[in-house]
Amino acid sequence: MLDIEDFERKYSAIVNSEQFAQLQEAYNKAKYVFFFGHGGNMGVAEHAAIDHSRLTDKNVFAPGGGIIVTSIQGDTSFNDWIMNWLDIRTRGLDKSECLAIGISCSTNGISSDCLSTALNWAADNGMPACLWAAQPKEKGINPKVNQIIQHTKYYHTSEIISLTMTYELIHGAGFMCPAISTKAQQRRFEKLGIESEVETHNQHVPPGMETQLNNLAIDFDGVIHNFDKGWHDGTCYGDPLPGALDAIRTLAEDWNIIVFSAKVRPDRPLVGGKTGYELVDEWLQDHGVRDLVAEITHEKPRAQHYIDDKAIEFTNNWTEILERLQ
């Protein structure tokens, strides 16, 4: 397995360090944030700029793209190109409202020196600046630049830590890093033509469906209708189970009653020329409670409670359930 150098321990040490607390404070105050790096870390910087712009209220930038990089290098030099990009990007801005973050795996050589030049320029111009580096950089860096050292030996570990740190800043500033399931749910909402879900009494439902919080779902066979012969001839042959009709009349005063049954499945064969829905509907009418039932369905409806003769109540009791079923 790939060695990621005890990632969790290293990452925890960084996030709980005084240097990261200083960075988080500077990030929280900043209106403009500038990420930059070379190689894979330029990819980390671009990724950070996109997601920070999407997920926060800040204006976040990274150099990105070969055209801007080569153009500025052509105007100046490799050592000065990030400094010049930063100078261009911050023109007219209050430097105290900006934050410069340089991301580096190396601490020696021309790539590292280029980042140091940019961060030193930022610090000299009143801009909070921070270097994220795999190893300490002892020379050529302004003491005003906050250094967060990862103590890693592999490029991949350093880059993974750096990318995760970008999300830690979002989280630490009080913004949400969305779950994958949340994005999938949002796509479903968009397909339905709604914007988001809302919370009502700690229950989550899509907008416009708040009344469904008052649903009570009741199984038909074996709960309302006596199903003691099983399938038999496919009809609703049984009498009401004792107390079932009175219970429906009482519950309908406070709940939206939904009756669910596999009989109503659309793939069920006709019985006496009638669908399962028609059979259940007629039975409820014959026994005087159809007007109290809001819906008849073969699907599991959204409801606060389910009354079902085959249900096993789940209360974080998987061990008990397994013992019961095995």
In CATH, what class is 209-325? Answer: alpha beta
Mean pLDDT of 253-259: 93
User: pTM for the complete prediction?
Assistant: 0.58
- How many angstroms separate the CA atoms of 252 and 265, rounded? 24
> What pLDDT score was predicted for residue 201?
46
Pairing mode, if any, of strands 215-219 and 203-205?
A: unpaired
Please check the confidence at residue 319 and state whether its pLDDT lies above 50.
yes
CATH architecture of 7-177: 3-Layer(aba) Sandwich (3.40)
Tens-place pLDDT, residues 106-160 = 878 888 899 999 999 999 999 999 999 999 887 889 999 999 999 999 999 999 9
pLDDT at 320: 92
Same fold, 7-177 and 209-325: yes
Q: Spell out the domain ranges in the chain.
A: 7-177, 209-325
Q: Give the confidence band of 196 by pLDDT, cuts at 50, 70, 90.
A: low
The pLDDT, as a whole number, for residue 87 is 94
Task: Choose between 123 and 301: higher pLDDT.
Answer: 123
Provide the 10 A C-beta neighbour count for residue 134.
23
Rounded Cα distance between 142 and 102, Å, is 13
* Rounded CA separation 235/71 (Å): 80
pLDDT tens digits for range 69-93: 778 777 888 999 999 999 999 999 9
